[in-house]
Structure 1
Amino acid sequence: MSYGLALDVDRIRREALQTMSAGPATTRYGLDTERVVSVLNDVVAAEVVGWLRYTRHAGSAERVDRSVVSELFTRHAEREMSHAVATAERIGELGGQPNFDPATLAQRAHTDYAAPDDGELRAMLEQNLLAARIVVSTYQEIARWLGDRDPTTRRLVESVLEEEEQNAHALAELLDA
């Protein structure tokens, strides 16, 4: 049994020519592009809500003289926004429109925005850890759903997932300290 790779470049070329006006190349993978865009817009919402939550918590932690935690929240907020922007760019590549509508962000996000009192540092850490764990689980499911049918989007989700796992780990360490 041979496991070698044999590419039929002529066939691939013919298929590529046939799909020149069909939109993004990803449509060839058998996914419903509108559904992928909808799922990714929910990711955008989750990331923007995460950015809002971390940004609020960073300011609160700074006011209670917890600069280490404030700096961590600030780094996490920056990651969340970069995730939202990267996901929005992918939505555009798929021919969709990124949805940053503030009126629907909270309903579409996988996580909640919570703002405990400034002095409740443990509550902030717990809320962010819960949100990170929710996002990790949902992004794992999204990556599995995408599978090999849209490897570009799956890799994006997996790269965001990796950073979210790092965020969760850092938050858990602070809670255990």
Structure 2
Amino acid sequence: MAEAPTALRLDEAGLRAARSDLDEGAVTPAYGPWRDDILKLLNGALATELICVLRYRRHHFMATGLESPSIAEEFLVHANAELGHADRLAQRIVQLGGEPDFNPVGLPGRSHADYDEVNDLKAMIKSNLIAERVAVETYRQMIGLVGDKDSTTRRLLEDILADEEEHADELKDWMARA
């Protein structure tokens, strides 16, 4: 005979705890020991997005060749999308009581993606495709790590991941055109 499922009930202790430490805003005690780890992950993602903005913008201005005008404009579109991701990550870091790390010193070391100074259009596309694939993998891993520890951050990461996957698919298509 199957056991009856237990009723879904809210954690009353958690609700009581939410009534204290009001200066923490939305960050309740349930975030517990994971908040610092999540902030570190988010700052790493922020650094990655900033490096991608810089790389895409450089490629936008340096792209030359028959297909370069349309691809250069797409590099700018991607740069702006990455900047939007950076802004959303920074906003979430602040919501969690952290400080977004925009310090340019050490930025490449905090980033998961590389910055490069290639000048060949096909090499630019390849470099950006590699960076997008690294971003896809990074966000997939972060989503797994965050799991149910912070559903708001997880949804943010999932949303950014969808954009990064779209960017990677576009770059793959451009590789054939360049």
TM-score where L is the length of structure 1: 0.88
Deviations 1:48-104 (A, max 9, x none): 00000000001112x445111011101100011010111001000010110011111
Given the alignment, which residue of 33, 36, 60 partners 1:34? 36
In the TM superposition, 1:38-117 aligns within 5 A as 38-61=40-63, 63-64=64-65, 66-117=68-119
- 1:34 Cα offset (Å): 1.6
Question: C-alpha distance in 1, partners of 2:106/2:28?
Answer: 27
- 1:16 Cα offset (Å): 2.1
Structure 2 contact 18–28 (Cα < 8 Å) conserved? no
- 1:30 Cα offset (Å): 3.8
Question: C-alpha distance in 1, partners of 2:10/2:98?
Answer: 31
- 1:35 Cα offset (Å): 1.7
- 1:5 Cα offset (Å): 7.0
5+ long unaligned stretches in structure 1: none
5+ long unaligned stretches in structure 2: none
Structure 2 contact 14–29 (Cα < 8 Å) conserved? no
Deviates further, 167-176 or 18-27? 18-27
Aligned-residue Cα RMSD (Å) equals: 2.2
Question: C-alpha distance in 2, partners of 1:13/1:28?
Answer: 10
Letter in 1 for 2:134: I
Deviations 1:104-123 (A, max 9, x none): 11000001101112xx1000
The count of residues paired between Structure 1 and Structure 2 equals: 174
Deviations 1:11-64 (A, max 9, x none): 664342145355542541444212211111111100000000000001112x44
TM-score where L is the length of structure 2: 0.87
Identity %: 35
Letter in 2 for 1:171: L
Structure 1 contact 26–94 (Cα < 8 Å) conserved? no
Letter in 1 for 2:172: A
